[in-house]
Amino acid sequence: MELIGRKRRRPERIGLWVPFARPAPLRENGLVSNRLESSTSPYLLQHAENPVEWWPWSDEAFDEARRRDVPIFLSIGYSACHWCHVMAHESFENEATAAYLNEHYVSIKVDREERPDVDAIYMDATIAMTGHGGWPMSVFLDLDARPFYAGTYFPPEPRHQMPSFGQILQSISTAWTDRRSEVESTATRMIEALRSRSGPVGDAPPPDDEALTAAVALLEGDFDTRWGGFGSAPKFPPSMLLEFLLREAARTRSLEAITMAEWTLTAMARGGIYDQLGGGFARYSVDAEWVVPHFEKMLYDNALLLRDYAHWWRLTRSLLAERVVRETAEFLLREMRTPEGAFASALDADSEGEEGRFYSWTPKQLIEVLGPVDGDWAAGLFTVTAEGTFEHGASTLQLPHDPEDWDRWARVRAALMAARDLRVRPGRDEKVVAEWNGLVIAALADAGAIFDEPDWVAAAVAAGEVITGVHLGASRPGRLSRTSRDGHAGRNDGVLSDYGGVAEGLLTLFQVTGDARWLEIAGQLIDVAVEHFADGDGGFFDTADDAQVLVRRPRDPADSAEPSGWFSVANACVSYSAITGEMSYRAVAERALGVATLAAQRSPRAAGSGLSTASALLSGPLEIAIVGEQGAADTMLLRRIAFGSTSPGAVVAIGPGADSGSGEQVPLLRDRPLVGGGAAAYVCRGFVCQRPETSAEGLAQLVQTHPAFLPHKGTGGE
């Protein structure tokens, strides 16, 4: 099970589930009709021809339940979820189980990545009822969509002190028929409990220096000093916390912050959670040592971690950080891009019905590919043992130490990659999620500017074109669709995190490319978020005020594996305000960050992205305006220094000088002339600027840039 709240068991091998195979089960009346075949969700399409008569989440499904007077069985999962595949094979492909479901229930299938709002509500209910949650999520609802029983994976027969799925179905059907009043009473109490969580969150000021220092101290108490990361197994990459710690290390020179960040970044990069051959990170580690991952690769993890490692390199010039950045960017462009130019959601954990089969190796397999000499060398280098570090004598690849011979490493890595490419590949979830593409746009554009890699920036621009061309305005003007597939927008509206994530991506594109179109669209998205998602209490709901009505309007400022929509919109507001000078957006962010002040004192692990934004506020953030001839050597050198700035949340605007006659300019560039006919940089806070700087060394001192970004003496330039 993909668990929240307790340790995940290693899966048992029960049959074969091929994620994209769609057998067509027969009935007496012919092929089963289904309602999922037009979905943009690969997860729903995986179930389109199950013998279970699935419905998508819709008013029509609840109307059907009312007509038949039967309860709702709600199954929530996602395409890359191993245990979702197992339960599907065991139960949803089983004719007898499906027949019972079809007779006694209306069954609804939801992709949690398409409907995070639905998932959030019923995950809260599942955790409240059972003490833990995860996917597949199995929830039973009354005719008003109120939950009265919930769980995660249920086996086909009683196992591990769990009842079978069939027993659950029969017991609930009996209760629905014979004890309806008890069912309704349970549903009522559950909804009241869930709604009580939606009260005011307070109106504290944004975190100050003392609060951020306290947050770092609290994180120290939860830090794993041996293996890095926070807490015990299973361990998820603490992406947002790492960004916060790197920012605090840059802002305050905190030894504690940089130690926690570097130790964790190093341990993950050298562990099995990182793909040592192909680049990119798996979703989490089942152990505390980062050795055995849950092998699915999520787009959002790799976007966030790409940016973390780029910022680590920017701060310290770590060679390990640079290697991880380059390999992860290559992975994203090689394996995650869709034909339209956006980025797919995930790669499965499974191939050939087995989790991790694509990624794990035995010593014998290494020798078969490399020969005995290089095979033994690679086994030692990658910690591939005879006993195995994973399952069935196989090992995940780790890299505890750098190879002494990098040329040999390159040959071995290329040979193993070529051999691995001949294996059956894990399935790919082709769904394009607006929020996650916003994160990867920001990461590739940012890293592309830092490392001077125009191909990464071009890929970010192409993805931005897809999101603005396909997702924006597909359902109604100015609004985002949450997902698309094959260039066609899905029917689900964007949630708050889509607006915050895409706005952040487009703001980064503006800074890197100088194209004011991205700034304009980002501002429009922020305005939609402020107008339609605000809760009137300084924060935000996760759904718009005109979205589909659910049993509860979700609102949660806490980060999960990705930044909360609440904090991502606040962060976008800070950057947008710094670029445009519109201080009303800064005020929105400051009020929204009050919850981060409370989190800093109690649970900073739930507010890493909010604390990062607060670090930017305390730093200004710096506003760096560079004016000069596009592509000229002096302009490009100042640009490089600007993007090398470690000052938290610094924003950059690049364009021709005010005396160029180029017409309307963005506010940060207005009234900024060239100096002596050449490029100049204006460094400001709150649009109050210091004298223009024309030298690389002078600008580097103003914006906190690592000396490595400066040109070597005697080179005459970059």
Q: Is 459 left (phi over 0), alpha (psi -120 to 50) or beta?
A: alpha
pLDDT digits (tens, 9 = 90+) for 95-125: 999 999 999 999 999 999 999 999 999 999 9
Mean pLDDT of 305-329: 98
**H/E stretch holding 415:** helix 406-420
**Superfamily in which the 2-196 domain is placed by CATH:** Glutaredoxin (3.40.30.10)
Region of poorest pLDDT, from 223-232, 530-539, 657-666: 657-666
pLDDT of residue 162: 83
595 bridge partner residues = none
State pLDDT tens for residues 442-493.
Answer: 999 999 999 999 999 999 999 999 999 999 999 899 999 999 999 999 999 9
Residue 336 has pLDDT above 80, yes or no: yes
- Distance in angstroms (rounded) separating the CA atoms of residues 54 and 107: 5
pLDDT value of position 195: 81
Q: Which of 649, 655, 644, 648 is nearest to 701 (CA)?
A: 644
- Report how many helices (DSSP H) and strands (DSSP E) the chain contains, helices first: 25, 23
Whether the per-residue pLDDT at 33 is higher than 60: the answer is no
Q: State the residue for tokens 């304009």.
A: 520
- Four-residue CA torsion sign, 113, 116, 121, 123: positive
pLDDT of residue 531: 98
Give this prediction's pTM.
Answer: 0.91
Nearest in space to 4 (alpha carbons), one of 606, 594, 493: 606
Measuring CA to CA, which residue among 134, 198, 232 is closest to residue 605? 232
Residue 139 CB contacts under 8 Å (≥ 6 apart), including other chains = 73, 74, 76, 122, 125, 126, 147, 149, 150, 151
Any idea of the CA torsion for 62, 64, 67, 69, to the nearest 10 degrees?
-70
pLDDT digits (tens, 9 = 90+) for 577-621: 999 999 999 999 999 999 999 999 999 999 999 999 999 999 999
Tell me what pLDDT residue 49 has. Answer: 86
pLDDT, position 82:
82
Q: Which of 455, 451, 432 is nearest to 502 (CA)?
A: 432
For residue 17, the model assigns a pLDDT of: 27
Lookup: tokens for 60? 């029509």
Query: What pLDDT, on the 0 to 100 scale, is given for residue 4?
Result: 44
At residue 30, the pLDDT reads 38
- Give the mean pLDDT of 648-671: 84
Q: Where are the domains of the chain?
A: 2-196, 209-348+429-619, 359-422, 623-709
Residue 424 has pLDDT above 90, yes or no: yes
Helix (H) or strand (E) holding 96: helix 95-104
Nearest to 44 by CA among 23, 20, 26: 20
23 has pLDDT over 50: no
The reply to whether omega before 136 is within 30° of 0 (cis) is yes
CA distances from 690 to 146, 222, 671 (A): 59, 41, 14
Cα gap 151→162, rounded to integer Å: 10
Q: What angle do CA 176, 182, 186 make, to 5 degrees?
A: 105
Question: What are the angstrom distances between the C-alpha of 676 and each of 627, 659, 663, 671, 694?
Answer: 12, 12, 21, 15, 9
Place of tokens 């013998």: 51
pLDDT for res 303: 98
At residue 265, the pLDDT reads: 98
Span 197-219, pLDDT tens digits: 765 566 789 999 999 999 999 99
DSSP for 590-640?
HHHTHHHHHHHHH-GGG-HHHHHHHHHHHH---EEEEES-TT-HHHHHHHH
Which pair of tokens denotes residue 134? 């995860």
Q: Are 2 and 11 in contact (CB under 8 A)?
A: no
Identify residue 46 by its one-letter amino acid code: Q
- Region 57-79: mean pLDDT is 96
Among 452, 566, 578, which Cα is nearest to 523's?
Answer: 578
Looking at every residue in the chain, the average pLDDT score rounds to: 91
Q: Are strands 30-31 and 26-27 parallel, antiparallel or unpaired?
A: antiparallel
Contact present, 87 and 156 (Cβ < 8 Å): no
pLDDT-derived band at 662 (thresholds 50, 70, 90) equals low
Q: For residue 409, give every residue at least 6 positions away whose Cβ sits within 8 Å of its Cβ, in sequence order, or none.
A: 381, 403
pLDDT for residue 26 is more than 50: no
Residue 606 · residue 560 · CB < 8 Å: no
**pLDDT (0 to 100) of residue 200:** 59
Structure tokens at 532: 């339609």
- Work out the pLDDT band at 83, boundaries 50, 70, 90: confident
Q: Give the model's pLDDT for residue 202.
A: 63
Domain 209-348+429-619 classified CATH 3.40.50.410? no
Percent of the chain with pLDDT over 70: 93
Whether residue 25 has pLDDT greater than 90: no
pLDDT tier at 688 (50, 70, 90 boundaries)?
confident
